[in-house]
Amino acid sequence: MTKPVSKTVTPRANPLPIARKCHCDEAVAMLDSRLVHEHADVLGVKVSAINLDMAVNLAEQWVAAGKSGYVCVTGVHGVMEAQSDPELRQILNQAVINTPDGMPMTWVGRYQGFDHMDRVFGPDFMTAMCRVSVERGYRNFLYGGKPGVAELLSKTLQTRFPGLQVVGTYTPPFRNLTPEEANELTALVRESKPHIVWVGLSTPKQERFMAQFVDRLQAPLLVGVGAAFDYHTGSIHDCSAWVKRTGLQWLHRLLQDPRRLWKRYLRNNPAFLWHIMWQFSGLREYPDYKEAQTVETMASLSHGSISLPAQVRGSGK
């Protein structure tokens, strides 16, 4: 039996205007020094050489510009999935921000000379942007999670951040969205006019969804935060800061959900170490992300030219 689709939209209070999409030449003009940033090269995936404060600042500038774009939060799992999936690698490399989610991304970046680079964990970024949303009047929309999670997250965040505007939620089924459901989602988001659409699926489903819908939803930012929905609602317990700084958060996650995660970590972690050693040695070449210049990325986003399957992706995990 097909699981029901849950959605809610709440009235907007004193809505902050959103600048709608503009043509590519205007978008390029908006890409001043505040929006352009450096990237580390992690096996051909460009990972933003930023820290949490820089990520928040870049996101604020992007919302102010009013141009539709998406933010990926990428760790070892995403990088390794991209090694066998050129389409996913392209999606990651065309993100307006691709945060270093995990210490391995940070260590690689620092090895490449980005001393300021630091971990930008999805739940931490969501927390920081909720604070900014209260200050700036940003409207937020929650997409993803198991049935009931998005609604619970909305209540949890609004309790934690009084004044936070969550203008809608949508819980997709555990399958591909039908064209009718895709149209329904589009109508809900356009009606609620959020500044940020939080996408809580799994990698690579959330990245494909954002690339597919970035222009269609007409929101300034889509942000894929994976398990952040479960962290903030208490379904997943966070670990101590020292565990995170030593790069062992994956082990903490594994102990909480071994049946689902053991194959991911057993396959990806050793493979990542093997490949990154080859990259550092210079004896093996990996795709050069620098071939995709910023202007070309903006053109792709503006005209919807990212090559994706025609079928709309859902939230199957």
The boundaries of the domain holding residue 59 are 38-303
Structural domain total, the chain: 1
In a domain, 21, yes or no: no
In order of 2, 191, 201, the CA distances from 174 in angstroms are: 9, 24, 10
Looking up tokens 């594994």, which residue turns up?
254
pLDDT recorded at residue 267: 86
5 domain-assigned: no
Work out the angle between the directed axes of helices 52-65 and 122-136 (0-180°, nearest 10).
50
Tell me the one-letter amino acid at 98: N
Say if 33 falls within a structural domain. no
What's the token pair of residue 202? 């799994």
Contacts of 57 (CB under 8 A, 6+ apart): 34
Residue 263 inside a domain? The answer is yes
Per-residue pLDDT of the chain (317 residues; tens, 9 = 90+): 444 456 665 544 444 444 433 333 444 444 555 678 999 999 999 999 999 999 999 999 999 998 899 999 999 999 999 999 999 999 999 999 999 998 999 999 999 999 999 999 999 999 999 999 999 999 999 999 999 999 999 999 999 999 999 999 999 988 889 999 999 999 999 999 999 999 999 899 999 999 999 999 999 999 999 889 988 997 776 756 766 777 777 666 667 777 776 677 788 889 999 999 999 998 888 887 665 544 444 444 444 433 333 333 344 43
Cα(16)–Cα(243) distance, rounded to whole angstroms?
39
User: How is residue 35 written in tokens?
Assistant: 């929006």
pLDDT value for 226: 87
Return d(Cα 306, Cα 300) in angstroms, integer.
6
Reduced 3-state DSSP string for the chain: CCCCCEEEECCCCCCCCCCCCCCHHHHHHHCCCCCCCCEEEECCEEEECCCHHHHHHHHHHHHHHCCCEEEEEECHHHHHHHHCCHHHHHHHHCCCEEEECCHHHHHHHHHCCCCCCCCCCHHHHHHHHHHHHHHHCCEEEEEECCCCHHHHHHHHHHHHCCCCEEEEEEECCCCCCCHHHHHHHHHHHHHHCCCEEEEECCCCHHHHHHHHHCCCCCCCEEEECCCHHHHHHCCCCCCCHHHHHCCCHHHHHHHHCHHHHHHHHHHHHHHHHHHHHHHHHCCCCCCCHHHCCHHHHHHHHHHCCCCCCCCCCCCCC
The total of other beta-carbon atoms located within 10 Å of residue 217's CB is 21
Q: Which of 63, 90, 100 is nearest to 297 (CA)?
A: 90
How many whole angstroms from its chain centre is CA 194?
A: 16
- Can you give the pLDDT at residue 255? 75
Let me know if residue 124 belongs to a domain. Answer: yes
Tokens linked to 172: 């997709």
Does 227 fall in a domain? yes
> Residue 268's beta-bridge partner residues?
none
- Please give the pLDDT value at position 284: 82
- Quick one: pLDDT at residue 2? 44
> Residue 122 falls within a domain, yes or no?
yes
**Residue 72: per-residue pLDDT:** 98
262 lies in some domain = yes
Per-residue model confidence (pLDDT) at position 313: 36
Q: What is the pairing mode between strands 165-171 and 196-200?
A: unpaired
Residue keyed to tokens 């980005």: 114
